[in-house]
């Protein structure tokens, strides 16, 4: 079943291990975007909103994403950016637990999530505290003072995963609202937001879902709670009847209450087309392929490359679809790899990240990447120093 | 100098009087977007952020918009939607006037602006009041209790304009922060945000600027106040050094502090290309052409069409680049016009709106529109009732 390289416009001679930052271009996206420009915007003009169903695109694409993350149809809507969707989820969560004053997160969370949370708490000025603890300490730190537990499931640096089910259960048992950021999870392995019972989930779509640079984010609300979720950023397209231009805001009864302003039709068309790839994919098979490639990569690197340490879990069940190694020369090594067509990335101070996307990677790619890495580590590092880096 | 129809991919046989809702497709947008897809995203992948300067696009396009609205370079940044930029402007304004509790707006403001304001004030829960008064009463209602005056310069239904300079002066004299929404102003006529001294301005780019469906919004901060503007929605791309992934948020010292998340590169590319049309345009000449076409339209309609009343100001100096008429049959008339290729739009209960964009409209178009309108009004309205509407 994998890989499906024929679906992607990957450049010749590139081994792309950075789909955890920005997925590659699906071939069918270009003609589809071109059609929306020339046939829809160009020819239908304003009528595109109704006749070409642009207005419904955020919920239509939301349903595509729902399938990937184990959410029921109608519980996910697209829009804006992940930072904005985190803001909306956290603001709604705090309204659900007005007497509790702690937002619990971990030190491995993506900084923007923490920035957004701190900014929101500061502007609310109601005595909330953002408490960040070590990832492993999360379950024991969830208590009756916690309004919301806000976590990124997969650590962006190391690939370490939280156990969504047990953490969500701990939150529920303590009466806290659970918010999952699935940025590095959606499209990487099976996710079951409905099964874990979390109240909110958010994520981006330009990584494993290949939606393109700046593709819109998604937000999920547990369906029984939708009408209790007060929408921060109460823009007109979250209104029950936006085109009635009523004086007062009435949130939509559906997940669409989390819409804000005019959706980016051209950008979302790229995502909508990219999401068609997932229609007939089996996420368990994809995950198995990811694990096989990741295990091969780790085994080969550890057998052939000195000076690299695996970062994050060795157990593939605890790891997202990425492999990270640390090296004091990490930044230079990533650059040297790029010069040889192997694209990973670097996160300070010493982490080299490699995204494993079985949609367009096979064993040959993994071995070619390790060949390049072995050569760099053996030929250009002498006495712990870099020399003659290509 | 006008029109420049050759720049636009307008369908044959259409008179497009709805550029105040969604501008038409500039011809050069399609190849440019295609190049970003295939040559940038497709070939450069993650490196596009640096090598193709995607990361700087929001400030680069902001500078294109700045020129249109009389703002200095470096004072405007693009992103998100107008509703979100209103939220940021108002939140920052309230932080600047913590002791004042009134947000003053008018009943002609676009509903989403008011929804956003009410939502923000409600979540802050600090005793603020959103006070909406008749547009003409605004100057006298600005007093020492007003924290922020938040107005849309051009009324979306009637085209009535506020006087930016005198209203901004009244706000300044009363110590209130002035926020202008330029949704129907940017690209319609000369705007001088710097000259009027307002603290904030926001707007969208899919109307007269022809940026495409869902094109990103802009926000301006008066440069001397940038570092005092506390960014609501404190996402990572508003950080001084986003890629340092610091634990704490430090807002950028520049206007880029109003950035939030990953910018929509594909969508913004359409806008960036559309904005090239404005590089050598004289806004005064454009405005003169708009007035000439508008006056022709009004004179012909009033001479030839019974049952229509001009909505909004008769004095072109008080009117945006649109003409509105009211009719009890407005909705049916707009539909009948569309059936004949004349595209306007309808706003309940009785307003027919016609956007006047001299970039792609000439006298022939205006006369053709009036011909159609005259025929509809004379042939199909009998005894005040509609009949045989085509």
| CB-CB neighbors (< 8 A) of B45 in chain A | 11, 14, 16, 18, 22, 24, 343
| CB-CB neighbors (< 8 A) of A119 in chain B | 231-234, 249
Nearest to B185 by CA among B173, B171, B202: B202
CA A292 to each of CA A298, A324, A365, B259, B360: distance values in angstroms, whole numbers, following the listed order: 10, 16, 13, 39, 58
Contact A261 B54 (CB under 8 A): no
Residue A382 has pLDDT above 80, yes or no: no
In percent, the amount of chain A with pLDDT more than 70 equals 97
d(CA B131, CA B118): 10
Q: Which residues of A47-61 are buried (b: 16+ CB within 10 A; e: fewer)?
A: bbbeebebbebbbbb
Contact B267 A263 (CB under 8 A): no
Best to test chain B binding among A261, A272, A361 (most B CBs inside 10 Å): A261
Residue A226 has pLDDT above 60, yes or no: yes
Q: Which uninterrupted H or E stretch holds B340?
A: none
Residue A117 has pLDDT above 80, yes or no: yes
Which residues in B72-224 belong to E strands, given as ranges? 76-79, 102-106, 129-133, 146-152, 177-181, 200-203, 217-221
B385 — pLDDT class (breaks 50, 70, 90): low
Helices (H), chain A: 29-35, 42-44, 48-51, 57-69, 82-96, 111-124, 138-141, 164-173, 193-196, 265-275, 283-304, 330-339, 363-379
Nearest CA in chain B to A92: B123
The residues, ordered by sequence, that sit 6+ positions from A83 with a Cβ below 8 Å of its Cβ are A112, A113, A115, A116, B233, B235, B236, B260, B261
Rounded to a whole number of angstroms, the distance from the CA of B118 to the nearest CA of chain A is 8
What pLDDT does B1 receive?
72
Rounded to a whole number of angstroms, the distance from the CA of A269 to the nearest CA of chain B is 10
Helices (H), A38-163: 42-44, 48-51, 57-69, 82-96, 111-124, 138-141
Nearest to B213 among A29, A107, A265 (CB): A265
- How many other C-beta atoms can be found within 10 angstroms of the C-beta atom of residue B349? 9
Rounded to a whole number of angstroms, the distance from the CA of A376 to the nearest CA of chain B is 21
Q: Which two tokens stand for residue B185?
A: 């102003």
Nearest to A291 by CA among A189, A206, A360, A205: A189
d(CA B9, CA A34): 13
Average pLDDT on B49-61 reads: 98
Rounded to a whole number of angstroms, the distance from the CA of B177 to the nearest CA of chain A is 18
Active site residue A181: yes
Contact B112 A235 (CB under 8 A): yes
What pLDDT does B376 receive?
94
Q: Which uninterrupted H or E stretch holds A200?
A: strand A200-203
Contact B46 A87 (CB under 8 A): no
Active site residue A382: no
The residues, ordered by sequence, that sit 6+ positions from A298 with a Cβ below 8 Å of its Cβ are A310, A314, A323
- Residue A304: alpha-carbon gap to chain centroid: 32
Average pLDDT on A116-124 reads: 96
Nearest CA in chain A to B42: A25
Q: A–B: how many Cβ contacts below 8 A?
A: 257
What pLDDT does B245 receive?
92
Per the residue annotation, which of B80, B106, B113, B181 is the catalytic one? Answer: B181
Output DSSP code: residue B37: I
Per the residue annotation, which of A106, A113, A155, A181 is the catalytic one? Answer: A181
The residues, ordered by sequence, that sit 6+ positions from A252 with a Cβ below 8 Å of its Cβ are A238, A239, A240, A259
Average pLDDT on A223-231 reads: 97
Contact A118 B248 (CB under 8 A): yes
Average pLDDT on B3-8 reads: 95
d(CA A388, CA A59): 53
Nearest to A200 by CA among A168, A235, A174: A168
| CB-CB neighbors (< 8 A) of A204 in chain B | 262
d(CA A281, CA A371): 31
Contact B9 A42 (CB under 8 A): yes
User: How do residues A283-326 score in pLDDT, each as one tens digit?
Assistant: 999 999 999 999 999 999 999 999 899 999 999 999 999 999 99
Output DSSP code: residue B262: -
What pLDDT does B382 receive?
63
Per the residue annotation, which of B100, B325, B353, B365 is the catalytic one? Answer: B353
ipTM of the complex: 0.96
What pLDDT does B250 receive?
97
* Inter-residue contact B36 to B49 (CB < 8 Å): no
SS3 B310: strand
d(CA A244, CA A227): 21
Residue B335 has pLDDT above 90, yes or no: yes
| CB-CB neighbors (< 8 A) of B234 in chain A | 115-116, 118-119
What pLDDT does A388 receive?
61
Residue A384 has pLDDT above 60, yes or no: no
Taking the complete model, does pTM exceed 0.95, yes or no?
yes
What pLDDT does A379 receive?
84
Rounded to a whole number of angstroms, the distance from the CA of A96 to the nearest CA of chain B is 12
Nearest to A38 among B9, B38, B46 (CB): B9
d(CA B23, CA B214): 11
What pLDDT does B386 receive?
64
Active site residue B206: yes
In percent, the amount of chain A with pLDDT more than 90 equals 95
What pLDDT does A1 receive?
72
Nearest CA in chain A to B84: A233
Contact A260 B83 (CB under 8 A): yes
Contact A9 B38 (CB under 8 A): yes
Nearest to B119 among A125, A217, A234 (CB): A234
* Inter-residue contact B74 to B59 (CB < 8 Å): yes
Average pLDDT on A127-134 reads: 98
Q: Which uninterrupted H or E stretch holds A54?
A: none
* Inter-residue contact A219 to A91 (CB < 8 Å): no
User: How do residues A180-210 score in pLDDT, each as one tens digit?
Assistant: 999 999 999 999 999 999 999 999 999 999 9
Active site residue A220: no
CA A64 to each of CA A72, A74, B219: distance values in angstroms, whole numbers, following the listed order: 10, 10, 32
Average pLDDT on B227-242 reads: 97
Q: Which residues of B161-200 are buried (b: 16+ CB within 10 A; e: fewer)?
A: bbebeebbbbbbebebbbbbbbbbbbbbbebebbebebbb
What pLDDT does A44 receive?
97
SS3 B210: coil
Active site residue B353: yes
Average pLDDT on B167-189 reads: 98
Nearest to B311 by CA among B367, B350, B270: B350
Output DSSP code: residue A154: B
Average pLDDT on B319-343 reads: 96
User: How do residues A56-93 score in pLDDT, each as one tens digit?
Assistant: 999 999 999 999 999 999 999 999 999 999 999 999 99
Contact A126 B123 (CB under 8 A): no
């Amino acid at each position: 079943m994998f890989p499906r390289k024929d679906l992607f416009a990957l450049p010749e001679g590139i081994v792309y291990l950075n789909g955890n930052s920005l997925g590659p271009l699906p071939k069918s996206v270009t003609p589809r975007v071109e059609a929306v420009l020339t046939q829809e915007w160009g020819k239908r003009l304003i009528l595109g909103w109704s006749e070409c169903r642009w207005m419904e695109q955020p919920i239509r694409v939301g349903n595509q994403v729902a399938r990937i993350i184990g959410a029921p149809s109608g519980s996910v809507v697209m829009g804006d950016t992940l930072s904005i969707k985190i803001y909306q989820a956290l603001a709604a969560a705090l309204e659900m637990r007005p007497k509790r004053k702690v937002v619990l997160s971990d030190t491995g969370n993506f900084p923007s999530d923490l920035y957004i949370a701190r900014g929101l708490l500061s502007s609310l000025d109601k005595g909330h505290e953002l408490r960040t603890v070590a990832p492993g300490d999360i379950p024991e730190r969830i208590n009756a003072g916690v309004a919301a537990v806000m976590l990124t499931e997969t650590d962006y640096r190391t690939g370490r995963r939280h156990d969504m089910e047990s953490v969500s259960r701990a939150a529920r048992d303590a009466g806290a609202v659970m918010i999952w950021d699935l940025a590095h999870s959606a499209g990487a392995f099976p996710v079951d937001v409905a099964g874990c019972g979390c109240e909110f989930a958010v994520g981006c779509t330009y990584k494993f879902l290949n939606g393109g640079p700046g593709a819109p984010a998604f937000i999920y609300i547990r369906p029984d709670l939708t009408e209790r979720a007060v929408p921060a950023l109460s823009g007109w397209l979250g209104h029950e009847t936006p085109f009635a231009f009523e004086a007062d805001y009435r949130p939509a009864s559906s997940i669409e209450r989390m819409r804000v302003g005019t959706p980016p039709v051209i950008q979302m068309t790229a995502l909508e087309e990219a999401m068609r790839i997932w229609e007939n994919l089996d996420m368990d098979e994809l995950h198995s392929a990811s694990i096989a490639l990741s295990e091969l990569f780790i085994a080969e690197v550890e057998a052939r490359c000195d000076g690299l340490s695996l970062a994050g879990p060795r157990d593939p069940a605890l790891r997202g679809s990425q492999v990270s190694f640390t090296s004091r020369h990490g930044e230079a090594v990533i650059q040297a790899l790029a010069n040889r067509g192997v694209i990973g990335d670097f996160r300070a101070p010493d982490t080299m990240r490699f995204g494993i996307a079985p949609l367009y990677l096979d064993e040959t790619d993994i071995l070619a990447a390790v060949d390049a890495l072995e050569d760099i580590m053996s030929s250009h590092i002498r006495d712990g120093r870099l020399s003659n880096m290509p």
